[in-house]
Amino acid sequence: MFNKILIANRGEIACRVIKTARRMGIRTVAVYSEADANARHVRMADEAVLLGPAAARESYLVADKIVDACKRTGAQAVHPGYGFLSENAGFADALAANGIAFIGPPASAIRAMGSKSEAKKLMGKAAVPLTPGYHGDDQTPALLHKEADAIGYPVLIKAAAGGGGKGMRLVEKSEDFPDALASCKREAISSFGDDHVLIEKYITKPRHIEIQVFADTLGNCVYLFERDCSVQRRHQKVLEEAPAPGMTLERRRQMGEAAVAAAKAVGYVGAGTVEFIANQDGSFYFMEMNTRLQVEHPVTEMITGQDLVEWQLRVAAGQPLPLAQEQLQLRGHALEARIYAEDANKGFLPSTGRLVRLSPPAESLNVRVDTGVEEADEITPFYDPMIAKLIVWDEHRDAALARMRKALADYQVAGVTTNIDFLSRLVACPAFAGADLDTGLIERQKEFLFPATQAVPRDALLVATVGELLWEQHEAKQAAKTSGDPHSPWHARDGWRMNLSAARMIGFRDGDSLIEALVRYQGDKWQITINGQTTLARGKKLEGDRFAVELDDRRLMASVVAVDEKRSIFLNGSTYSLLRDDPLHLVEAGGAQGGGLTAPMPGKVVALLAQPGQKVDKGAPLLILEAMKMEHTITAPAAGTVKAFCYAAGEQVADGAALVEFEGE
């Protein structure tokens, strides 16, 4: 076994690998960019090497720098995690040339599966069932169009080098094909540096079912059952589970054997995943093989009781697979939810900022949290905005679902917008709870999943008000302690005001509405009147931002986190957001959004979609910005005229930069 390995990755997967290595007595080397100098994976590793600037292109993606870091630290092997260089055959070659082991498959297997087109050709030969479509070399647009017509619409255009749900376009009818092809190729070039595409029949109401395979260098190859990853948004996985609901023993064996055949056809070694698209009747087609550890591998670990990173390390060190096929057993049910810093109600727009509050549910045998960040860390615009993976296990799916519901309710995050509320609705949604799964579930259930924003409930408003009052008291006490005369009446915050009645107003903003809480001091209690209704309240500040609150004859535990004028209220498993409306603070009413024509985050202008001087309707697309690995379309805030664009296509823009000079009608 190795004495020391280097992890060529960051975030939760780097931390995940370090954890197993440490348990096995292997020393670890982290690598990091300038933006990650203080990141959790750097803090966890035995040593760490700086690679370069924040941009992955100049740090995590530079193979030479990683080879160099291995030489400097004496690391004998590299674990690539997922993403970054994990499926880069050139990187595997570079390591081999320097006598460093790659904890992954041989470069030849990565190459064979690296192109979805080439992989399909190979799989066809190995008699693995394929999604009907065109995966030839001729890339003439007219020919591709003809092939699409022949397959019959809807079709899916896919970048052969694509991944992560990017570089895919659904085409519903023939006349839409040319535009979709152009846009797909544009994204493919910018994201993967290769615009080769394939075309597939678009399967309606399919399920995504994948098989975990593992092979060693001695010729053994097994499958560790399946994962169902049907719950997706924009072809990206959101919730995964194992086993797949409704899977029969016979179908599991068929898919498992097809996956092992796929792995054997390319001389596979290590952990891999063969992805299938399945019809509701259970018939299935090969989609692609991912030649690395998957994000969702923990659900497989939970149902098999195995540590897949340990398996990877053993195989890379030349040892045989720890278990044979007939020794592998499947037990219970596991679910994984990806906790992201993103705004589900704004098209899943990534959110960046400091994790002022990050309090995950308690871990146990049933609840696991894989994360790369801790409270006070930052979600930066440079990398994937995943905060953590929340994994739960129980004997049956229903019990696992209940655990997931509870764990999501206990998850507290403030400082960035997260998808936690969205995930809570997802697991509560009858279609998901009833295992009526297909890749269109989120779209189909959107009414339930994206409800119109609701007013913050009265209890949360009362808690927020009590929070302000307790906070003032706390600050007054702190001030008194440090001033000369702790008993001076000037430090009291009991509502006593010279020439003023003992009543005051505390204001909040909930979206567009102003909420005024009238507070009257009554002994050690407060009479709080909101919307004409009065509640007698009392509160006690516990440690940090936690409060015990009494509202009339009820007692609640709550937490309020304040960042500038923002207030996040955690109450009964829900999070509510308010703004403190402080007349003493000069807060620009409505904010300075500038009509939405500013960059929502740092990124690159990909395309200008209008001409200067052009008159456009409200909502017309003006410009495409690529940021955080996604394309965002900037649209006209109103009917009007495009005066000028501030940047040309290809230029980088900073967060908040004005993009378009626009004149409304």
As annotated, the active-site residues are 292
Closest distance between Mg ion and the C-beta of residue 275, in Å? 5
DSSP conformation class of 591: -
| Of residues 216-275, those binding Mg ion (CB under 5 A) | 275
What percent of the residues of the chain are helix, what percent strand, and what percent coil, each to the nearest 5?
Answer: 30, 35, 35
The option from Mg ion, ligand ADP, none interacting with 426 (CB < 5 to 8 A, set by class) reads none
Let me know if 394 is exposed, middle or buried by CB neighbors in 10 A (0-12, 13-18, 19+). Answer: buried
Buried b (16+ CB within 10 A) or exposed e, 324-361: eeeebebebbbbbbbbbbbbbbeebbbbbebbbbbbbb
The option from ligand ADP, Mg ion, none interacting with 291 (CB < 5 to 8 A, set by class) reads none
* Residue-by-residue DSSP string for 474-495: HHHHHHHHHSS-TT-GGG--SS
Q: Indicate the helix (H) or strand (E) that contains 259.
A: helix 249-265
Over the Cα atoms of the chain, what is R_g?
28
Please identify, using beta-carbon distances, which residue of 73 and 575 lies nearer to ligand ADP: 575
Please identify, using beta-carbon distances, which residue of 508 and 647 lies nearer to ligand ADP: 508
Are the beta carbons of 210 and 274 closer than 8 angstroms? yes
Closest distance between ligand ADP and the C-beta of residue 252, in Å? 19
Closest distance between Mg ion and the C-beta of residue 164, in Å? 8
Chain-centroid distance of CA 219 in Å reads 36
Please identify, using beta-carbon distances, which residue of 116 and 357 lies nearer to Mg ion: 116
The option from ligand ADP, Mg ion, none interacting with 390 (CB < 5 to 8 A, set by class) reads none
Please identify, using beta-carbon distances, which residue of 49 and 110 lies nearer to Mg ion: 110
The option from Mg ion, ligand ADP, none interacting with 562 (CB < 5 to 8 A, set by class) reads ligand ADP
The option from Mg ion, ligand ADP, none interacting with 181 (CB < 5 to 8 A, set by class) reads none
Closest distance between Mg ion and the C-beta of residue 298, in Å? 18
Q: Indicate the helix (H) or strand (E) that contains 134.
A: strand 133-134
| Of residues 267-296, those binding Mg ion (CB under 5 A) | 275
Please identify, using beta-carbon distances, which residue of 216 and 275 lies nearer to Mg ion: 275
Residues at the site binding ligand ADP, with contacts judged by CB under 6 A: 131, 156, 158, 162-165, 200-203, 206, 208, 232, 235, 275, 277, 287-288, 439, 467-468, 471, 543-545, 560-562
| Rounded CA separation 144/100 (Å) | 42
Instruction: Give strand pairing partners of 236.
Output: 233
Cis peptide, bond prior to residue 154, ω within 30 of zero: yes
Q: Indicate the helix (H) or strand (E) that contains 264.
A: helix 249-265
Closest distance between ligand ADP and the C-beta of residue 584, in Å? 14
Closest distance between Mg ion and the C-beta of residue 20, in Å? 25
Please identify, using beta-carbon distances, which residue of 32 and 202 lies nearer to Mg ion: 202
Phi/psi-derived region of residue 47, left when phi > 0, alpha when psi is between -120 and 50, beta in every other case: beta
Please identify, using beta-carbon distances, which residue of 33 and 439 lies nearer to ligand ADP: 439
What angle do helix axes 116-125 and 249-265 make, rounded to 10 degrees?
A: 110
Closest distance between Mg ion and the C-beta of residue 234, in Å? 13
The option from Mg ion, ligand ADP, none interacting with 622 (CB < 5 to 8 A, set by class) reads none
| Interacting residue ranges for Mg ion, rule: CB under 5 A | 275
